[in-house]
Amino acid sequence: MMSAGADGGGPALSTPERVVFSAGQIDRRVRELAAEISAAYMEVDRLLVLGLLKGSFIFMADLVRAITLSHQVDFLIASSYGAGTVSSGDVRLHYDPVTSLDGRAVLVVEDIVDSGTTLGRVLPRLQARDPSSLEVCALLHKRLDPADPAPRWVGFDAPNEFLVGYGLDHAEDFRHLPYIASL
């Protein structure tokens, strides 16, 4: 165990057990995804990349820098975990993008499809705003349920473990890790 602060205050944090995806593996896969996305949207002049915060922020930053066509960026914030390691099933939307989606090609960037609950609630809400297309790129997909929303692009199939790092957190800790690890 490691402590949260040098002064001994704050809760004790678990140490990640093992690296699941290394920084090098992630970097290579993000560049591959960006190339696939760039090719798919080559004819689109109004691509909007919409990041689902907070977990996608590092992945999205690397992805949008590697996409080779012109695009705009916005975010939405939704949560279903809180401090737990299992989705509460209660998706709360804390920030809804003000950018118009009407007639736009929209790419939602998600960190992980776990229970599918967040995407299942967010995608219909975005679709109601009349984009010309609505696709998802997820860094990780656990493939727990065939009924989960299917992202068009997936970085890695993920093990059914609680993962942290590269933007993924446990109670706001571990986002800074340059790799993805099992907690």
Active site residues: 114
Asked if residues 131 and 158 have their Cβ atoms less than 8 Å apart, the reply is no
Q: What is the spatial distance between Cα 49 and Cα 106, in angstroms, rounded to a whole number?
A: 6
Q: What angle do CA 96, 101, 107 make, to 5 degrees?
A: 85
12 Cβ contact partners less than 8 Å away, ≥ 6 residues apart: 1, 2, 3, 4
Q: What is the spatial distance between Cα 167 and Cα 174, in angstroms, rounded to a whole number?
A: 8
Q: What is the spatial distance between Cα 104 and Cα 117, in angstroms, rounded to a whole number?
A: 24
Specify the 3-state DSSP secondary structure of 166: coil
Asked if residues 23 and 178 have their Cβ atoms less than 8 Å apart, the reply is yes
As beta bridge partners, residue 168 has 165
Residue with tokens 């907690």: 183
